[in-house]
Amino acid sequence: MIIIFKKSASEEQIATFTEDLKSQGLGIHESVGENTHLIGLVGDVSKLDVDQLAANDFVEEVKRISEPYKAANRKFHPDDSTIEVKGVKIGGCNFAVMAGPCSVESEPQIIGVAEAVKSSGASLLRGGAFKPRTSPYSFQGLRGEGLELLCAARRATGLPIVTEIMNTEDLPLFEDVDMIQVGARNMQNFELLKALGTLDKPILLKRGLSATIEEWLMSAEYIMAGGNEKVILCERGIRTFEPSMRNTLDLSAVPMLKAKTHLPVVVDPSHAAGIAWMVEPLSMAAIAAGADGLMIEVHNDPKHALSDGAQSLTPAKFDAVMQKVKATAAFFGKTLN
Ligand code: PEP
Ligand code: MN
């Protein structure tokens, strides 16, 4: 349920009214925008009488929300959310590129790639330490050592780091990570989402391989319901009947999400296509569709990469893509971090 206040409502009236609702066991999300001041109620609102609430002379309107996601709902928070990752802003008019290898492989590799992507204009370093691989015989990541190497690359370049977590037990290792990624395969690992909801740290929530937009937003809701509202959604392609690409990039999800949620949306063209040459056109299209950022895989030697070499750009190619990203983002009124 959302309650919109009249412009004439006083702080005191709103505070007393809100306290009363809290004392009935309801969670309150307050949103103060330029034109609207509203609160969203989370919890069992079935016993509330809409007419009685609307009868207060400082209340403009009371609406029940039919969608099952509340905190993530744009109706709760009409303005775009901007989420900051160590000073890098994502959302609203702020656009950011996160780039780096699929897997962290060695110190010279991750530091070399970090320096290269930084000089091309990336503002966050990505790299997998814990890798969710389809085959148990494939490279599984350097795990704890990979996280240490990411920290070394951050020290060398100043770039904040984003890396994937696969289970709750590893959480203590992620204390020093700037943004934690939940991969496609874990989008509905609800215990993990609940644990991440207790942190005060941005979470990059990738879309599950065959998740609907509503299921994806419900996963964001799991994190937000725990108190962590710093969720960024990442469209990374979905399973369709088309075999010529690794996945199908669902670009229509971007404007649809923008209508349904205030959370920032970034696009990962690398995992969507699985093919390096497609990363550039899909990046342009993602910006035009309204994305707030991009996640792009870059490897110093894609042919010998331990994972996802076929979709990884060389630093030189990434630099060329970034020139176009900068121009396209500016055209669409975005400020590149
Ligand atoms: C990744 O980012 O390296 C990754 C495994 O992505 P996804 O979960 O989207 O497959
Ligand atoms: Mn990858």
Residue 263 maps to which CATH number?
3.20.20.70
Of all atoms in ligand 1, which is nearest to the CA of residue 268? 9
- 157 in a structural domain: yes
Q: What is the mean pLDDT of the chain?
A: 97
Mean pLDDT, rounded, for 62-66: 93
- Which CA distances in Å does 243 have to 224, 225, 226, 240, 274? 35, 37, 39, 8, 11
327 & 277 share domain: yes
In this structure, what are the phi and psi dihedrals at residue 111, rounded to the nearest 5 degrees? Answer: -70, -40
Q: Among 75-79, 153-157, 308-312, 321-325, name the one with the lowest average pLDDT.
A: 75-79
- 73 in a structural domain: no
Host domain of residue 192: 83-336
Of all atoms in ligand 1, which is nearest to the CA of residue 237? 9
- Tokens for 67, please give them: 């969608």
Q: In the prediction, which pLDDT does 35 show?
A: 84
d(CA 214, CA 178): 27
92 & 43 share domain: no
Mean pLDDT, rounded, for 259-283: 98
Q: In the prediction, which pLDDT does 57 show?
A: 96
48 & 99 share domain: no
pTM: 0.96
Ligand with an atom nearest the CA of residue 309: 2
Say how many domains are in the chain.
2
- Which CA distances in Å does 118 have to 178, 185, 337? 16, 29, 11
Whether 206 lines ligand 1, by a CB cut-off of 6 Å, is: yes
The set of residues, in sequence order, having a beta carbon less than 8 Å from that of 152 and lying 6+ positions away, is: 107, 110, 111
224 & 107 share domain: yes
37 & 157 share domain: no
Whether 208 lines ligand 1, by a CB cut-off of 6 Å, is: no
The pLDDT confidence band at residue 33, using thresholds 50, 70 and 90, is confident
- Please give the DSSP secondary-structure letter assigned to residue 215: H
| pLDDT tens digits for range 81-130 | 999 999 999 999 999 999 999 999 999 999 999 999 999 999 999 999 99
Can you count the helices (H) and strands (E) in the chain?
A: 10, 15
Whether 129 lines ligand 1, by a CB cut-off of 6 Å, is: no
- Domain termination residue (choose one: 28, 63, 98): 63
Residue 304 has pLDDT above 90, yes or no: yes
- Please give the DSSP secondary-structure letter assigned to residue 238: B
Mean pLDDT, rounded, for 59-84: 95
Q: In the prediction, which pLDDT does 34 show?
A: 83
Q: In the prediction, which pLDDT does 46 show?
A: 87
15 & 147 share domain: no
The best mutation among 104, 126, 130, 181 to test binding of ligand 1, ranked by most ligand atoms within 8 Å of the C-beta, falls on 181
57 & 92 share domain: no
Centre of ligand 1 to C-alpha 266, Å, is 13
139 & 189 share domain: yes
User: Which residue's CA is the nearest one to ligand 1's atom 10?
Assistant: 184
| pLDDT tens digits for range 169-180 | 999 999 999 999
- Which CA distances in Å does 93 have to 25, 82, 143, 261, 301? 36, 9, 35, 16, 34
290 & 211 share domain: yes
216 & 131 share domain: yes
Whether 184 lines ligand 1, by a CB cut-off of 6 Å, is: yes
Ligand with an atom nearest the CA of residue 268: 1
Percentage of the chain with pLDDT > 70?
A: 100
- 200 in a structural domain: yes
- 76 in a structural domain: no
Of all atoms in ligand 1, which is nearest to the CA of residue 103? 3
DSSP secondary structure string for all residues of 4-58: EEPTT--HHHHHHHHHHHHHTT-EEEEEE-SS-EEEEEES--TT--HHHHHTSTT
